[in-house]
C-alpha cells in the first residue's frame, strides 16, 4: 500500500487530519483468550459510523498490548485499518521496551496504510538524566519510517518528559503529536512553546472541553470515554465537542456537565486494579464486544459486575428503544 504522505509532509498532514475525537481501543478477547476479530471489527465500525469517532488508537495499554504477541499486535493493526477504511483514521501503538519490536511494528503500520503511530517513552533503568537518551531514542525511530509519530509521556515510565524536551524532539520532521499524560501546567506550557510544530493532547475527557476553549486544541488523543459514555442514541461527547469547535462554549459546557452522572457511575464502580475488566464489562452492557482480560490483569468478581450494572442502570445514558427492551 502506498504511503499517505512523505516524511517531510507528516506534520502538515497531521495538522490537517488529526482532529476531533480519537478513542483508545480495548482489545476484545473470546472466552479462549484469542482475539475476537469479528467483535473488534464490529466495535470499530460502530465507533466510526454510529458514534462519529474520528480516529482509533490501537493496541495501547488499554488494549493490553503487553499481553499480546507481536503477530497479534500486527493483526490488530490490520483489523483496524480495514475497519477504518472510508470511516476514520488510525494510530497504532508500537510501544515496547525492545527497539527491534518498536521498529518492526512501526514499519508494519506504515506498510498497511495506518495514518500514524504512537510510541510510549520507555522505562530507563539506572538512568536519571533522561533527556539525551530520549531524544536519541525518538530520533532513531523517526529515521526508520516515514509515518507520523506521536510521543507518549506518562508516569508509568517512572518519569515525565519535560515540555522543553518534547519541544526539542518535535523538531524532527515526522514527530507530529504527543499524548501528554501530565499535570495541566506542563501540557499548557508545551502547547505554548511548541504548539506550532506539535499537536498536544491528553487523555482526560473531563479536561477536553476546557482545552479546546482555552488552549485551542484540535484533537482528543485519547482514552475509552468516547465509546463508553456515548451510544448511537446519546452522543453527548460528540455534541459538546462540535459545539465547542463552533464557538458555542456555554452550550458545550451544559452538554458536557450533563454527563457527570455517567462519569460518576463509571468511576465509582471501577476497581482500582481492574481498569480493563471493568471497562470491558461496561462495553458488554452497551452491546459492544468486551470479553475477558488476559493475565496479568484480573477479571471482575460477580459482585463487582452487579455494582457496575446497577450504576449503569441509573446513570441516564440512553441505549435506544431496541437495546432498552432487551
Give the confidence band of 324 by pLDDT, cuts at 50, 70, 90: very low
Cα dihedral: 308, 310, 315, 321 (round 10): 110
d(CA 30, CA 64): 14
Predicted confidence at residue 244, as pLDDT, reads 98
Predicted confidence at residue 322, as pLDDT, reads 53
pLDDT of 326 strictly over 50: no
Q: What confidence tens digit (pLDDT) does each residue in 18-34 have?
A: 999 999 999 999 999 99
Give the confidence band of 2 by pLDDT, cuts at 50, 70, 90: low
pLDDT of 237 strictly over 90: yes
Q: What confidence tens digit (pLDDT) does each residue in 78-98 have?
A: 999 999 999 999 999 999 999
pLDDT of 283 strictly over 70: yes
pLDDT of 1 strictly over 90: no
Nearest to 286 by CA among 259, 308, 264: 308
pLDDT of 321 strictly over 80: no
Residue 151 DSSP SS3: strand
Pairwise pLDDT comparison (222 vs 137), residue with the higher score = 137
Give the residue-averaged pLDDT of 133-156: 98
Predicted confidence at residue 3, as pLDDT, reads 75
Q: What is the pTM of this model?
A: 0.96
Predicted confidence at residue 323, as pLDDT, reads 46
Predicted confidence at residue 320, as pLDDT, reads 84
Predicted confidence at residue 7, as pLDDT, reads 97
Residue 222 DSSP SS3: strand
Predicted confidence at residue 240, as pLDDT, reads 99
pLDDT of 135 strictly over 60: yes
Domains annotated for the chain, with CATH where assigned, are: 7-230 (3.20.20.70)
d(CA 269, CA 272): 9
pLDDT of 209 strictly over 60: yes
Give me the chain's average pLDDT, please: 96
Give the residue-averaged pLDDT of 200-220: 98
Give the residue-averaged pLDDT of 155-160: 96
Above pLDDT 70, what percent of the chain?
98
Place of cell 493490553: 64
What is the largest distance, in Å, between two alpha-carbon atoms of the chain?
58
d(CA 152, CA 224): 16
How many other C-beta atoms are found inside a 10 Å radius of the C-beta of residue 267?
A: 10
Q: What confidence tens digit (pLDDT) does each residue in 65-78 have?
A: 999 999 999 999 99
Predicted confidence at residue 325, as pLDDT, reads 37
Amino acid at each position: 500500500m502506498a504511503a499517505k504522505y512523505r516524511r517531510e509532509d507528516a506534520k502538515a498532514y497531521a495538522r490537517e487530519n488529526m482532529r476531533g475525537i480519537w478513542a483508545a481501543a480495548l482489545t476484545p478477547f473470546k472466552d479462549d483468550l484469542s482475539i475476537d476479530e469479528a467483535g473488534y471489527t464490529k466495535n470499530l465500525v460502530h465507533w466510526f459510523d454510529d458514534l462519529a469517532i474520528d480516529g482509533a488508537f490501537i493496541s495501547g495499554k488499554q488494549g493490553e498490548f503487553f499481553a499480546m504477541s507481536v503477530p497479534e499486535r500486527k493483526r490488530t493493526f490490520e483489523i483496524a485499518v480495514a475497519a477504518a477504511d472510508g470511516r476514520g483514521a488510525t494510530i497504532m501503538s508500537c510501544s515496547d521496551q525492545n527497539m527491534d519490536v518498536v521498529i518492526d511494528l512501526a514499519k508494519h503500520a506504515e506498510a498497511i496504510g495506518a495514518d500514524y503511530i504512537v510510541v510510549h517513552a520507555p522505562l530507563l533503568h539506572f538512568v536519571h538524566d533522561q533527556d539525551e537518551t530520549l531524544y536519541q531514542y525518538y530520533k532513531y525511530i523517526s529515521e526508520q519510517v516515514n509515518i507520523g509519530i506521536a510521543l507518549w509521556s506518562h508516569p508509568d515510565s517512572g518519569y515525565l518528559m519535560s515540555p522543553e524536551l518534547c519541544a526539542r524532539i518535535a523538531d524532527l520532521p515526522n514527530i507530529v503529536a504527543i499524548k501528554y499524560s501530565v499535570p495541566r501546567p506542563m501540557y499548557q506550557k508545551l502547547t505554548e512553546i511548541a504548539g506550532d510544530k506539535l499537536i498536544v493532547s491528553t487523555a482526560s475527557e473531563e479536561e477536553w472541553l476546557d482545552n479546546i476553549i482555552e488552549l485551542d486544541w484540535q484533537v482528543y488523543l485519547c482514552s475509552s470515554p468516547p465509546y463508553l459514555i456515548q451510544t448511537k442514541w446519546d452522543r453527548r461527547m460528540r455534541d459538546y465537542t462540535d459545539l465547542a469547535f463552533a464557538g458555542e462554549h456555554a452550550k458545550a459546557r451544559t452538554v458536557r456537565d450533563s454527563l457527570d452522572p455517567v462519569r460518576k457511575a463509571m468511576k465509582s464502580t471501577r476497581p482500582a486494579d481492574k481498569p480493563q475488566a471493568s471497562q470491558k464489562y461496561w462495553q458488554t452492557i452497551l452491546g459492544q464486544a468486551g470479553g475477558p482480560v488476559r493475565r496479568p490483569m484480573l477479571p471482575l468478581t460477580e459482585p463487582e459486575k452487579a455494582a457496575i450494572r446497577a450504576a449503569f442502570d441509573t446513570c441516564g445514558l440512553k441505549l435506544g428503544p431496541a437495546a432498552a427492551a432487551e
